[in-house]
Chain A
Amino acid sequence: MKHSAVVPSFREDTNFAYLVGRVRALESGLLTQKILDNLLRADDLEQALRVIAEVPYWGTVLPSSVRSLQAIDEVLVNHYWEIVEDFRQYKVAFPLVNFFTLGFDFSFLKLALKYHLAKKDLEKSYPTTLESKRVLRFFSGEGGEFLPHHFEMAIRETLTVFETHAHNVQLLELVLDRFYLQEVYRIATTLESEPLRNWLFAFVTFAYIKAALRARCQGKKPEVMRFMYFANPLISQESFLRFMELPSDKVSELVGDFGFDFLFPQGVPFRDDSYYLAEVEKNINNYLMRFARSFRAPVFGPEPVFGFLFAKGVDVKNLRIVLEGKYFAFPQEELRNKMRECYYE
């Protein structure tokens, strides 16, 4: 947007004024370490739910009548989705909210494709920006249906790969993941805010590292994982594959070369097991969170909105862990170990 000389560029950075105001108010409903501690200390699910009801904005989200685990899960996801969708209506925030809706969209696509290929119908509606009927019609190759370009490409390619590679369902996810990350990368390059761009780059890079480590754990072959890779300057295909090809004792060296030592738990040698993977995933999340905390400070601009949406997502993740843990009465310390860091300390 261009402006007259009298009011030079006062508008751009205040475009977000309204959203930042909303975010500031909503931030008081974010979980803090103290609330998490209280949650962990709760004796059972009921007590934990009561702790949540005390946090601003949560009382109405999780009414005390919600009791079953599935219902809680659904409520939490929908709550997050509603916020994301609400913020999506504002044109200024659209590009950055896109990042959050993409996550929902691609997990819906994965599910829908699997159901489609198994010739089953979807049972209920899922949070997504896509119209499920359209997507289904698109799957069945009906001409004339229009989907946003990247989804169209993703579905076509996935179906082609599926056909040409002996109906391997694993590939389906990998190809979709590739398109997801590619789209995230594209969003990152279009954002004007440098910190946000860097954050998204970090997100993509870590996603590859995470995927590579998970592949090691699950014994997936590097040739298969190749389907997940798109050409990008953040991490080369060669090093992505190297993560999977190297013997266990060399992996931490490679991570060190990237400068990502902090991802690995201190003092524990690298192992190819799910415990280690979970630790790395937690560290990645915590690193991204610490990065995102710097988004709290700006008064205008997209950062606080992005930071809040990310923090809300982490909150939902934390709550699911805690509430599920309380439902099955897991020991407190075990749960504490799984907790992600909070936006506000």
Chain B
Amino acid sequence: MAICKVKKIDILAHRSLLGAIVSCLQDLGVVEVVTQENSSVALDVVRSGTSAEELERKIGEIRYCLEFLNRYRPEKPTFLESFFPQPIEVKKEEFLRQNFNYIPIYRACLSIEEQLNEIRATINRMNGNIEFLRRIQEVQLPLECLGETRFTFSVLLEVPREKYEPLEGKLRGIGKEWVAQTFSSPRGFFVVLLGHKDLEAEVRAILQELSLMPLALPQAFEGTPKEAREKLEARLQEASEERANLLCKALLYLRYEKDLKVVHDYYSTLLERERVESAILGTKEACLISGWAQEELVPLVEDSLQEVGREWMLYHRDPQENEHPPIDLRNGYWAKNFEVLTRLYGLPNYAEIDPTPFLSLFFFLFFGMCLGDVIYGIVLALLGFVAPMYLPVGESTKRFFHMLGWGGVASVVVGMATGSWLGDVFDYLPAFLGVVTRFKRALTVIDPVNNPLPMLIFSLGLGIGQVLVGIALSFVKEWRRRHFAVAIMDHLSWFIFLSSIVLYLLGMVVFGFLRSIAIPLVVGSALFLVATQGRQKKNPILKVLSGLLSLYGVVSYLGDVLSYSRLFALGLSSSIIAILARTLGALFGSSPYIGWLIGLAVALLFNVFNLLMSGLGAFVHSARLQYVEFFTKFYENGGREFKPFGYKTKYVKLL
């Protein structure tokens, strides 16, 4: 039984024990606490979740600090580190006594960020001003001269060459109470015009007429544009230094990163506890904690609670029909590596069979057939089994690697049987390695490159096998649920019908005697199907018709089986690409001088590419066969993952 049996447990306790019991359960980490549904007694929520928001705020603040520090971290984590971060190891007691005060760091981060923002804004503004001053740097007048006095006004103009003459002419026309100083500019001239206030309106009218816009200074400057610019540049330099200083200051806080991470996890653990507590119902004196626990761990829960006190009772019972217990998959050493495939599709519901053990065998075989090469298999197996030893990966990642590793092992086996060792490279070994070639040839059973049919038939045979297993599982499932009629009429009958067809086909090819056994079975089961498949219809004619029509279902089974031909095609494709790599390598290798090096590189490149693409193809297509051809026969899924209440950590590994 691969779906772990769970019990519904209810702990009825005195209110005074609530805190201790919750701590105890969190420490155990084996009970999933749920909200009590449809209870007939009026119960109130024991705790209102007010401090949950407080905790969320704290976690948010710590996360802000971590993100802030990450942004300014000088050395970025390497590719591997970002995928598999090294967890921080902390003793459980220390973790629970966590009282690191992150608030000063949070405040510091906030203030640094604010200052950085300000500096950024200042720098942008200064850059804009410098740009402006550079544009008018030919103006050799102190800029503070521009402006108004009681009797005068002044404007700074950039006058294109062709407008200079008209401007001068027009200004002459209005009077003499003005002076202009002219400097050259890239497009013509800069003109600083100083005039009496009485003339201002007329001057502006002239400017408008010539569509000349006075240049407005973005702010007040001192000195000539050049001086002002130099001053600004010095200030800019200062601002950049200040910025660098601030960044250094921010980096100082990096040494608290570890503490921040630990305290982050500490608060998430508290939050988790808070969430659980808000699901607990009770009265003034008592409280009721309900949840799910694995059957064999219920005594452990009871034992642990003994230490808390004596004012509690624990009831446990099997799940009822209408309940949806959480699913915890339990598989053996080998099959558990393939659980990820079941999870990918969706967990089984509590009332069905865990498909993992069956799937693991088929996936193993299929993956091997799709990759189907000894050397590729060895590479993959090494990667799958060795890499998790050196990488700080979690349990699920490790299992995934192991699954690939087992796929590699299968590939080695299939490769040996089909004689594919990096394609046909081993046939072209130098003479002194002849033993290896002979060894390889001795192991070869089928050579699909030269004689593809047997391999194709073998693939289809595997397909028939898996489809039949699927139907059989479906029969077992229904039988267990005591739906005997359905089990026999819909599943067993099909199983016999299909397997007797297979027997008949076998009989046609090899074992002649099977034919005589198979014929009555085929006819009998077909008649049985015709008789039973229309049982839902009321009209007797429709009954027979839909019974007959149901035999058409054989076509869909045929389609399923043909789909397994991909195993052969993919396996062949990976060995042929390997042959191609060898051929091209040899082609390049035959050129003089460093030709052998180029040849080797080409061959290596092709092989790596082939391993990647064929590996991906092998995974995807083997998985697809499970999902589309196998699962559709019996699998219902819809289960919910068992999530026990425990310590919720992201960065920390508890010892």
In the complex, A touching B (Cβ < 8 A): yes
Interface residues of chain A, those whose CB is within 8 Å of chain B, are: 47, 50, 53-54, 59, 63-65, 137, 142
Interface assignment of B57: CB less than 8 Å from any CB of chain A: yes
Interface assignment of B67: CB less than 8 Å from any CB of chain A: yes
- CB-based contact A65/B67 at 8 Å: no
What are 18 contact pairs spanning A and B, CB under 8 A?
A47-B53, A47-B57, A50-B57, A50-B60, A53-B60, A53-B64, A54-B60, A59-B67, A63-B113, A63-B117, A64-B64, A64-B110, A65-B110, A65-B113, A65-B114, A65-B117, A137-B211, A142-B211
Interface residues of chain B, those whose CB is within 8 Å of chain A, are: 53, 57, 60, 64, 67, 110, 113-114, 117, 211
Minimum CB–CB distance from A242 to chain B (whole Å) comes to: 48
Q: Which residues of A contact B57 (CB under 8 A)?
A: 47, 50
Chain A's closest residue to B109 (CB) is: A64
Q: Roughly how many angstroms separate A142 CA and B113 CA in the complex, as a whole number? A: 46
Q: Which residues of A contact B211 (CB under 8 A)?
A: 137, 142
Q: Roughly how many angstroms separate A142 CA and B114 CA in the complex, as a whole number? A: 44
Chain B's closest residue to A133 (CB) is: B213
Minimum CB–CB distance from B499 to chain A (whole Å) comes to: 42
Q: Roughly how many angstroms separate A53 CA and B61 CA in the complex, as a whole number? A: 10
Q: Roughly how many angstroms separate A135 CA and B121 CA in the complex, as a whole number? A: 27
Q: A50-B60, A65-B114 are in contact. List 10 more A-B contacts (CB 8 A).
A: A47-B57, A50-B57, A53-B60, A53-B64, A54-B60, A63-B113, A64-B110, A65-B110, A65-B117, A137-B211
Q: Roughly how many angstroms separate A296 CA and B40 CA in the complex, as a whole number? A: 44
Chain A's closest residue to B208 (CB) is: A140
Q: Roughly how many angstroms separate A36 CA and B620 CA in the complex, as a whole number? A: 39
Q: Which residues of B contact A64 (CB under 8 A)?
A: 64, 110
Minimum CB–CB distance from A233 to chain B (whole Å) comes to: 44
Minimum CB–CB distance from A164 to chain B (whole Å) comes to: 25
Q: Roughly how many angstroms separate A198 CA and B67 CA in the complex, as a whole number? A: 44
Q: Roughly how many angstroms separate A47 CA and B50 CA in the complex, as a whole number? A: 14
Chain B's closest residue to A54 (CB) is: B60
Q: Which residues of A contact B113 (CB under 8 A)?
A: 63, 65
Minimum CB–CB distance from A285 to chain B (whole Å) comes to: 30
Chain B's closest residue to A53 (CB) is: B60
Minimum CB–CB distance from A278 to chain B (whole Å) comes to: 31
Q: Which residues of B contact A50 (CB under 8 A)?
A: 57, 60
Q: Which residues of A contact B60 (CB under 8 A)?
A: 50, 53-54
Q: Which residues of B contact A142 (CB under 8 A)?
A: 211
Chain B's closest residue to A66 (CB) is: B117
Minimum CB–CB distance from A299 to chain B (whole Å) comes to: 20
Q: Roughly how many angstroms separate A63 CA and B116 CA in the complex, as a whole number? A: 12
Q: Which residues of B contact A59 (CB under 8 A)?
A: 67
Chain A's closest residue to B57 (CB) is: A50
Q: Which residues of B contact A65 (CB under 8 A)?
A: 110, 113-114, 117
Q: Roughly how many angstroms separate A72 CA and B110 CA in the complex, as a whole number? A: 17
Chain B's closest residue to A143 (CB) is: B211
Minimum CB–CB distance from B121 to chain A (whole Å) comes to: 12
Chain B's closest residue to A140 (CB) is: B208
Chain A's closest residue to B116 (CB) is: A65
Q: Which residues of A contact B67 (CB under 8 A)?
A: 59
Minimum CB–CB distance from A42 to chain B (whole Å) comes to: 9
Q: Roughly how many angstroms separate A63 CA and B211 CA in the complex, as a whole number? A: 44
Chain B's closest residue to A145 (CB) is: B211
Q: Which residues of A contact B110 (CB under 8 A)?
A: 64-65
Q: Which residues of B contact A47 (CB under 8 A)?
A: 53, 57
Minimum CB–CB distance from B320 to chain A (whole Å) comes to: 31
Q: Which residues of B contact A53 (CB under 8 A)?
A: 60, 64
Q: Which residues of B contact A137 (CB under 8 A)?
A: 211
Chain B's closest residue to A63 (CB) is: B113
Q: Roughly how many angstroms separate A65 CA and B60 CA in the complex, as a whole number? A: 14
Q: Which residues of A contact B117 (CB under 8 A)?
A: 63, 65
Q: Roughly how many angstroms separate A338 CA and B114 CA in the complex, as a whole number? A: 33
Q: Roughly how many angstroms separate A87 CA and B507 CA in the complex, as a whole number? A: 67
Q: Roughly how many angstroms separate A50 CA and B53 CA in the complex, as a whole number? A: 11
Residue from B60, B113, B117 having most chain A Cβ neighbours under 10 A: B60
Minimum CB–CB distance from A345 to chain B (whole Å) comes to: 22
Minimum CB–CB distance from A143 to chain B (whole Å) comes to: 9
Chain A's closest residue to B64 (CB) is: A64
Q: Which residues of A contact B114 (CB under 8 A)?
A: 65
Minimum CB–CB distance from B57 to chain A (whole Å) comes to: 6
Chain A's closest residue to B106 (CB) is: A64
Q: Roughly how many angstroms separate A47 CA and B61 CA in the complex, as a whole number? A: 11
Chain A's closest residue to B71 (CB) is: A60
Q: Which residues of A contact B53 (CB under 8 A)?
A: 47
Q: Roughly how many angstroms separate A47 CA and B113 CA in the complex, as a whole number? A: 19
Residue from B113, B114, B211 having most chain A Cβ neighbours under 10 A: B211
Q: Roughly how many angstroms separate A54 CA and B63 CA in the complex, as a whole number? A: 10
Q: Roughly how many angstroms separate A50 CA and B114 CA in the complex, as a whole number? A: 17
Q: Roughly how many angstroms separate A134 CA and B611 CA in the complex, as a whole number? A: 61
Chain A's closest residue to B115 (CB) is: A65
Q: Roughly how many angstroms separate A63 CA and B120 CA in the complex, as a whole number? A: 15
Q: Which residues of B contact A54 (CB under 8 A)?
A: 60
Q: Roughly how many angstroms separate A137 CA and B212 CA in the complex, as a whole number? A: 11
Q: Roughly how many angstroms separate A121 CA and B110 CA in the complex, as a whole number? A: 36
Q: Roughly how many angstroms separate A218 CA and B211 CA in the complex, as a whole number? A: 43
Chain A's closest residue to B114 (CB) is: A65
Chain A's closest residue to B117 (CB) is: A65
Chain A's closest residue to B67 (CB) is: A59
Q: Roughly how many angstroms separate A50 CA and B67 CA in the complex, as a whole number? A: 14
Q: Roughly how many angstroms separate A50 CA and B110 CA in the complex, as a whole number? A: 14
Minimum CB–CB distance from A21 to chain B (whole Å) comes to: 21
Minimum CB–CB distance from A47 to chain B (whole Å) comes to: 7
Q: Roughly how many angstroms separate A59 CA and B113 CA in the complex, as a whole number? A: 13
Q: Roughly how many angstroms separate A142 CA and B209 CA in the complex, as a whole number? A: 9
Minimum CB–CB distance from B358 to chain A (whole Å) comes to: 35
